[in-house]
Structure 1
């Protein structure tokens, strides 16, 4: 088995592998040890727009930092250009870290970048990260699964290739539904889920800037979550959670308050 330490080194005479590193949901304390070690040895860091300065500061001062600016469909650099830049940096022989929010292989196009590099003979190693669904659920005190309420969790993107909402074919009621990159599509997401059979009073939660000090939450139902979010939240990146487990949040919050937590 390859250890995290092995990911940081290459045999003599070989270029080091490009590291696809998950930066987690935002809070630097949620970085993995492997991610921290990779950043501390990086010579080039290509990072997404939502990666915070505290995380970037872990790289050496003289490391080259390049923002490739991907945020919920608004890209300052096209994916093809990112692929080309990654390849060019890898061929310099320096230690290259591709730093992606959350987990690099979940809604981050990390698989495409990995394929591009491998197709050109560049070795790639992946260092997983805490994805936003896990970080935000923990921060808000919402269990993603719960006996009798949700037997699983389904992760969606709000931006399908054709512009639609790819909610899949599973029974939405049996899983907690988590929608990524849906800040500007809360109403459409709620409408689509109700059209698929979820009752209008299904609990819904929008978490903005999850795990960060400026985290804000908006709790409602599918029937009113879009209106509530528009009134209560700003325009920060947000995650949408829907399902019966979300209804546990007020209970858990009260229990934590009663316990002095």
Structure 2
């Protein structure tokens, strides 16, 4: 009889604040024998893992997606005979635009026992922490991936009539996304909010318009989620919730 392969947990680490890690995720981390973690995961969350575990950083470089995935798959195969749980710790939720689906498929094809542990996604956490409700103004909320391939495949004119857009992983292509939306019929004056480092001590909100973003006038850096639509104005009216950790502040635009 073939030896049973190690159990792999695809675990969501949440948006950054360790207090937003789920109880189940913390328990599994404490039992892990190996932890393959995204470099964006905070040291505070890693400190909750079994100190005797093997810690393996998953270092993805821009433009090296295929090599990154191959490296992760190779680690899974090396750890297939691990005596205890293997944790793949991914920021946010493991199956929300984070290539977790591809990893899940690989593990299933290779006979691993896999369990997915959901996490709090920046998709909802970042707007909430910034005081931006995703509902209440528009009847629809659309979530879009902002990486290079998705940007070229999206039917941008489909979003010309308004509605709330939430873009993940799109900071590097923000000007191009804004131009596509404007050229597709979206109003250039539509408000935009970039939500950087949500739930961490570096949390920051940058408000702008599609036109300013399209002209390259807004300085932001990943990780960030950005929200497009009238819901952004509600933050201006109500202000963001006050929290002990990661106070949200309004950053100025880059001068044109």
* TM-score (normalizing by structure 1): 0.83
The yes-or-no answer on 1:34 pairing with 2:24 is yes
Q: Per the alignment, do residues 108 and 143 of structure 1 end up closer, same or farther by CA in structure 2, a change over 3 Å counting?
A: same
Q: Contact between 1:16 and 1:94, CA under 8 Å: does it hold in 2?
A: yes
Match of 1:65 in 2: 55
Distance in 2, matches of 1:120 and 1:254, equals 46
Q: Per the alignment, do residues 124 and 34 of structure 1 end up closer, same or farther by CA in structure 2, a change over 3 Å counting?
A: same
Q: Contact between 1:145 and 1:245, CA under 8 Å: does it hold in 2?
A: yes
Match of 2:167 in 1: 179
Deviations 1:88-132 (A, max 9, x none): 213323210000011111111111111111111111110011111
The yes-or-no answer on 1:158 pairing with 2:146 is yes
The yes-or-no answer on 1:206 pairing with 2:182 is no
The worse-fitting range, judged by mean Cα deviation, of 80-89 and 130-139 is 80-89
Match of 1:229 in 2: 218
Structure 1: gaps of 5 or more residues? 1-12, 257-261
Q: Per the alignment, do residues 168 and 95 of structure 1 end up closer, same or farther by CA in structure 2, a change over 3 Å counting?
A: farther
> What is the RMSD computed on CA atoms of the aligned residues?
2.4
Superposition deviation, residue 168 in structure 1: 6.2
* Equivalent pairs, count: 239
Q: Contact between 1:205 and 1:225, CA under 8 Å: does it hold in 2?
A: no
Task: Please show how residues 183-194 of structure 1 align to structure 2 within 5 Å.
Answer: 183-194=171-182
Distance in 2, matches of 1:22 and 1:119, equals 21
* TM-score (normalizing by structure 2): 0.84
Q: Contact between 2:126 and 2:199, CA under 8 Å: does it hold in 1?
A: yes
Match of 1:218 in 2: 206
Distance in 2, matches of 1:122 and 1:93, equals 13
Q: Per the alignment, do residues 73 and 55 of structure 1 end up closer, same or farther by CA in structure 2, a change over 3 Å counting?
A: farther
Distance in 2, matches of 1:253 and 1:100, equals 30
